Amino acid sequence: MEDELVASGRFVRIEMRGSRSGLVRAVTIGYVDDELVPGSLLVAAGVETAWAGNLVADPACHVRTGDRAFDAIAEPLDRTDHVRAIRGLILRYGTPAEGLGRGPSFRLRPILPYEPVVPVEAAEPLEPAEPVEPAEPVEPAAPLGPTQPAE
């Protein structure tokens, strides 16, 4: 049944690493598209929800809904975005489940191919586009005279 809900695009399946076991865990939940960050989804948890704790411990996840599938980073929402997410979920799905909005909420932001995945320090240095000719040596300037202490 859950597979059909995910395939229809009505629900999202999030696969993440378990915070205690380290094993891949999955949850199928409701979501709304994030109109402020195109391509991202907003999700919210109830109080003491294991999948939310997993995303807090390790925000890397894999997301699947309808014909979309992508790797993402789960970013905790600030208060304004949290309220917007809860409102969107209620409008989309009707009366919320008990505790919805009392737990954490997240933006599932896709990891795009052009975003750097390695830290900047580990990246290879850029090569100059054209060879640069060395500058000619310059004679040091003559001293300007004795310096006076600041008053």
Task: Say which DSSP state 101 is in.
Answer: T
Report if pTM > 0.95: no
Helices (H), 1-128: 2-8, 50-57, 79-93
pLDDT at 26: 95
Collapsing DSSP to helix, strand or coil, 91 comes out as helix
pLDDT (tens digit per residue) in 30-89 = 999 999 999 999 999 988 889 999 999 999 999 999 999 999 999 999 999 999 999 999
Residue 23 has pLDDT above 70, yes or no: yes
Residue 72, H or E segment: strand 68-76
Question: In this structure, which amino acid lies at residue 142?
Answer: A
CB neighbour list of residue 96: distance below 8 Å, 6 or more residues apart? 86, 89, 90
Mean pLDDT of 13-23: 93
Q: What is the pLDDT of residue 58?
A: 96
**pLDDT-based confidence at residue 15 (cuts at 50, 70, 90):** very high
More confident call, 55 vs 138 = 55
Decide the pairing of beta strands 24-29 and 68-76.
unpaired
Residue 32 or residue 121, greater confidence = 32
DSSP E strand stretches across the chain = 12-17, 24-29, 32-33, 41-44, 60-65, 68-76, 105-110
What percent of the chain is predicted at pLDDT more than 70? 72
Mean local confidence (pLDDT), 83-97: 87
Q: Above pLDDT 90, what percent of the chain?
A: 59
CA distance 10 to 28: 10
H or E element that contains 88: helix 79-93
- Report pLDDT for 101: 79
